[in-house]
């Protein structure tokens, strides 16, 4: 992939939280329509990358660059990044008492798309996406994530993605806590509800979700760096051998010890 046709380009990204450096030089390029997966053990920086891309304020970028279609993402506010087409499905979605799912999504849609759908137009759009994801119609009148099960929260994140139609959807451990039926529905939503030129970045510990969302590229993160990149076969190798062989190869520095 060349710089010219890249959707997202991350170069030597370093991020710290408080005094602790989490990302120690991440390089990543994602082209239009591509599916990428980032795998790695706990605490290696996968979710930190997702939050840094989304612009969470407590994640301080100390060096490096992030561009999306040639524009500097790091200079954008979180809402500007969303309008640019960057979407993050959270691992632990927040509850928002007093705000219903349909009101939240209609405001988000009108803000990000810069077009005003009427209440009835939006409800028809929402109903279509909910039927596809096998979400009961009453769901739209519930307060956002309040009292939701883990599976309902994850489906709600995919519903948001389906409505907003982002250019790049970052899924931060969306498979966590899902049974096989919910996982298949979530994966179907990712595979079939996004435009063909939309890209996906799946962050996960396990190969399980990658059986349903087929990655073009699999990256392995160790100690704040992407140390290995391959195709789907790399995920299969990790499933078989675990991460110890990579930890031994790259050690705590995340650099090849050979």
User: Residues 34-46: pLDDT tens digits?
Assistant: 999 999 988 899 9
- How many CA atoms lie less than 13 Å away from 135 in the CB half-sphere? 30
User: Residues 81-138: pLDDT tens digits?
Assistant: 999 999 999 877 887 889 999 999 999 999 898 778 888 899 999 999 999 998 988 8
CA distances from 218 to 33, 110, 158, 229, 233 (A): 15, 34, 21, 6, 8
* Burial track 127-142 (b if 16+ CB lie within 10 A, e otherwise): eebbebbebeeebbeb
pLDDT at 158 over 80: yes
pTM, 2 dp:
0.90
pLDDT at 227: 94
Question: CA 90 to CA 167: how far, in whole Å?
Answer: 17
pLDDT at 245: 86
Break the chain into its structural domains and give their ranges: 3-94+167-250
Would you state the structure tokens that stand for residue 227, as one six-digit string? Answer: 């140390």
Architecture label for domain 3-94+167-250: 3-Layer(aba) Sandwich (3.40)
Question: CA 72 to CA 55: how far, in whole Å?
Answer: 12
pLDDT at 253: 54
Pairing assessment for the beta strands 143-144 and 199-204 based on DSSP bridges: unpaired
């Amino acid at each position: 992939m060349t710089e010219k046709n890249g959707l997202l380009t991350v170069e030597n990204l370093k991020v710290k939280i408080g005094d602790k450096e989490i990302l120690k030089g991440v390089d990543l390029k994602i082209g239009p329509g591509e599916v990428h997966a980032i795998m790695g053990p706990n605490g290696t920086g996968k979710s930190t990358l997702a939050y840094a891309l989304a612009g969470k304020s407590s994640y301080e970028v100390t060096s490096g660059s992030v561009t999306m279609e040639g524009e500097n993402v790091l200079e954008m506010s979180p809402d500007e990044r969303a309008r640019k087409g960057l979407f993050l499905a959270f691992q632990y979605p927040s509850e928002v008492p007093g705000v219903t799912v349909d009101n939240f999504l209609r405001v988000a849609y009108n803000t990000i798309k810069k077009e005003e759908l009427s209440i009835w137009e939006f409800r028809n759009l929402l109903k279509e996406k909910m039927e596809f994801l096998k979400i009961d119609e009453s769901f739209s009148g519930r307060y956002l994530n309040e009292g939701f099960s883990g599976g309902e929260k994850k489906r709600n994140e995919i519903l948001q993605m389906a409505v907003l139609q982002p250019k790049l959807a970052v899924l931060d451990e969306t498979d966590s806590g899902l049974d096989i039926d919910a996982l298949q529905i979530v994966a179907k939503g990712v595979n079939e509800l996004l435009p063909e030129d939309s890209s996906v970045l799946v962050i996960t510990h396990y190969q399980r979700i990658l059986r349903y969302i087929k990655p073009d590229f699999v990256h392995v993160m160790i100690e704040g760096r992407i140390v290995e990149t391959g195709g789907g076969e790399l995920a299969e190798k990790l499933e078989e051998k675990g991460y110890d062989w990579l930890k031994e190869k790259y050690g705590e520095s995340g650099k090849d010890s050979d």
